[in-house]
């Protein structure tokens, strides 16, 4: 990171190094002696309180930045050796480990993910709030169990666009516990999970989670999606 000043660059790097030494511990300024000493030496006009405020500002910004993690995920033929996670494994792990909530969109769903569907139903019966958004629900032939067990904890929504028959819910999103998001090109099908070449990202970001929640609230409010009634 470049600030255009060797002083500020050195202060930033020193705070960053002391944060790394804390290894996730408290961000109390008493634990940043080198940073405080450096600021007071380079900027003697600042009071002790102002120096502490500066350390707090930079360390908190760094802490928020470190909370955001983005990694590449992919679907490729089994013979390929990947350093990235496979989309199928990420989907299964996210759903399996969900404790509070799941938001899922499905453009195309097949029998290939029947075990995943079983897990979704079981999670809802244990109090995990699940919201599933389907594209043209009448065309989905593998979601009978989801429809049969829908409840206040398993909410199902349908996308239809009467004005444009070619329009579709094409987004593939899986968001778990308002913390972990998978955004990819992969459908919930054999080819999406195992056969095709698919690429996506797994994101841990409060900012992205907030934006996704707000987007779907607006879509529901605008009646782009309609709830499938009991």
Candidate list 123, 131, 172, 180, residue with the active-site label: 172
Q: Annotate the chain with three-state secondary structure.
A: CCCCCHHHHHHHHHHHHHHHHHCCCCCCHHHCHHHHHHHHHHCCCCCHHHHHHHHHHHHHHHHHHHHCEEEEEEECCCCCCCCCEEHHHHHHHHHHHCCCEEEEEECCECHHHHHHHHHHHHHHHCCCEEEEEEECHHHCCCCHHHHHCCCCCEEEEEECCCCCCCCCCCCEEEEECCCEEEEECCCECHHHHHHCCEEEEEEECHHHHHHHHHHHHHHHHCCCEEECCC
pLDDT, tens only, 196-228 = 999 999 998 888 999 999 999 999 998 999 999
pLDDT of 7 over the 80 cut: no
Better-scored residue on pLDDT, 151 or 56: 151
pLDDT of 25 over the 70 cut: no
Structure confidence at residue 50 (pLDDT): 84
Candidate list 85, 93, 136, 177, residue with the active-site label: 177
Q: How confident is the model over 148-162, as a mean pLDDT? A: 90
- Give yes or no: 191 in active site: no
pTM of the full structure: 0.71
Better-scored residue on pLDDT, 62 or 87: 87
- Give yes or no: 17 in active site: no
Candidate list 7, 170, 210, 217, residue with the active-site label: 170
Better-scored residue on pLDDT, 30 or 10: 10
- Give yes or no: 177 in active site: yes
């Amino acid at each position: 990171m470049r600030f255009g000043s060797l002083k500020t660059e050195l202060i930033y790097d020193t705070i960053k190094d002391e944060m790394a030494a804390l290894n996730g511990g408290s961000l109390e300024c008493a634990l940043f002696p080198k940073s405080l000493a450096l600021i007071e030496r380079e900027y003697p006009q600042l009071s002790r309180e102002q120096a502490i405020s500066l350390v707090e500002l930079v360390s908190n910004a760094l802490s928020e930045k470190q909370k955001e993690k983005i990694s590449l995920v992919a679907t490729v033929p089994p013979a390929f050796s990947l350093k990235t996670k496979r989309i199928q494994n990420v989907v299964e792990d996210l759903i399996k480990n969900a404790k509070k909530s799941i938001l899922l969109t499905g453009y195309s769903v097949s029998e290939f993910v029947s075990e995943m569907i079983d897990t979704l139903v079981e999670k809802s019966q244990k109090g995990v709030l699940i919201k599933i958004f389907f594209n043209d629900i009448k065309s989905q032939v593998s979601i009978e169990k989801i429809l049969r067990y829908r409840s206040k904890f398993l909410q199902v929504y349908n996308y239809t666009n009467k004005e444009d028959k070619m329009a579709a819910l094409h987004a593939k999103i899986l968001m778990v516990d308002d913390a972990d998001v998978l955004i990819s090109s992969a459908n919930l099908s054999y080819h999406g999970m195992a056969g095709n070449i698919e690429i996506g990202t797994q994101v841990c970001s409060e900012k992205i989670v907030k934006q996704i929640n707000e987007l779907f609230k607006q879509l529901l409010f605008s009646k782009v999606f309609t709830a499938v009634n009991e």
